[in-house]
Amino acid sequence: MKAAVIGLGVEGKKATKSFLKHDWDVYATDLNPDIDLNELDANILNLDVPPNSDGMTIIADRLQIDLGFTNSLEIDSADAVAFSPSMWGSSLANKVVSQKKLLSDVLTKHRDIFTIGITGTNGKTTTVHMIKQILENAGLNVLVGGNGGGGFEGYYDLILEAENGEFDVLLIEVCDMTLDFCNYCFDFDLIGLTNIGRDHMDVHGTIANYKNSLARFFTDNNIIINHGQDFQSNFKEVSNKYYYYFESQAILNVFGEFNRFNAGLATAVATQLKIPKDVIEKSLMEFKAVEGRLNVYKINDSKIYIGKTDNIDALQSVLKEEDFYAIFMGTPRFKESDRLDMLNEVVSYNPEVIVIFPGLDDTTDIAFQKLNYLGYEGRIEVVNNLDEIIALVAEFSHEDAMLIGGNGQESIIEIQERIKSLSSKCSS
């Protein structure tokens, strides 16, 4: 079988690796000639760079990659196509869908599995992992995946894995930017909404547009929403059935009110699947924070809160938990002005120190300028590597608390691992 992968962003790379893992031949293409292909771990056999061209062709074992251009004949000859979810609605995507060549139309076993979708702005990954732990403790075989930002394999990997295995439940983290794509590819039996926040406004434009996208996603589906959720009437009107969830009262190992709501949604999902109450409560009590998500460590006298908090709502939910002496913020990508606006919130909180480090992109210069523009009068540190961050953590380790968050999951995980190691040494 031969697959064509169009677009080599996060999802495209994951799709390419998944096809190769399942013994497909792959043609992959991206119009950007500067894509980093290191994570594909491909054994390159041939590299062709035509003269006077911005493109190149890379040949590896069972894999051909065109960068800077696309060969439509290769796509037409493929048995199945995987395109980036961000391309949904484009003329090329519509052509693939009309030809029934999208992978979800070629392989369909995944549609026969009971499917749960978890979407929303914040808390998706934690909620999905909570549900997974509950269902597996109840003896169910669960296939988990979805949004690449959640640390999972991607949407296409779910379809490929489902075709070759036997699963009781398909559990999908659905990014708020891929709602229409996922609605087409999967048959959801139950959908849970964590919350609606101010993120990805460069895509949604407004909260009202985001609400409308969710309403399309919820149409004729069974949904679980927070009892205090905005736009309840809109969502109830379009849904098949709707249920509410509340803040969990279970004993949790993870901190914060926001995690009590994540646990509440996980409980509501498990209840719909008739999982016994004692299994739910024991699973939640044993649940530990997901790598890269917010956790707390102790070094000397200080509690260090560290995890991805990459939008204003996520940041606000953490800031109300503690009095932070210093706040470390990973910077967003260029042009992500909505995420850069998190610095407004940090300045308003007025910690003694604000530390800026490269997160998704090195936009520390822009962040520094913004802090000055906002009139922040405390100490500002701009750091460029892990050692500099750890040095400042050590300096502040006799203060009550500090927060390390913002953008850049990979950077934050790296910092988190070092902090965890130092915390273990201090406690021993």
**What is the full DSSP assignment across 245-305?**
E----S--SS-SHHHHHHHHHHHHHHHHTT--HHHHHHHHHH--PPTTS-EEEEETTEEEE
Name residues whose C-beta falls within 8 Å of residue 174's C-beta, 6 or more positions apart in sequence.
117, 118, 119, 124, 146, 147, 182, 191, 217
pLDDT, tens digit (0-9, with 9 covering 90-100), for 149-181? 666 789 999 999 999 899 999 999 999 989 999
Please state, in angstroms and as integers, the Cα–Cα distance from residue 36 to each residue in 11, 33, 39, 65, 330, following that order.
Answer: 14, 9, 8, 12, 21
Both tokens of 275, joined, read: 């999982």
Name residues whose C-beta falls within 8 Å of residue 23's C-beta, 6 or more positions apart in sequence.
62
pLDDT of residue 201: 61
pLDDT of residue 51: 58
Strands 114-119 and 326-330: unpaired
Measure the CA–CA gap between 75 and 82, rounded to whole angstroms: 10
Q: Which pLDDT band holds residue 351 (cuts at 50, 70, 90)?
A: very high
pLDDT, tens digit (0-9, with 9 covering 90-100), for 45-101? 666 666 556 788 888 889 999 999 999 999 999 999 999 998 999 999 999 999 999
What are φ and ψ of residue 145, in 5° steps? 180, -165
Mean pLDDT for the stretch of residues 359-364: 94
pLDDT of residue 335: 81
Residues 254 and 290 sit within 8 Å (Cβ to Cβ): no
Measure the CA–CA gap between 364 and 330, rounded to whole angstroms: 8
**Backbone angle region of 375, left / alpha / beta, with phi > 0 → left and psi within -120 to 50 → alpha:** left
DSSP assigned state of 102: B
Amino acid code (one letter) for 42: A
pTM score, whole prediction: 0.88
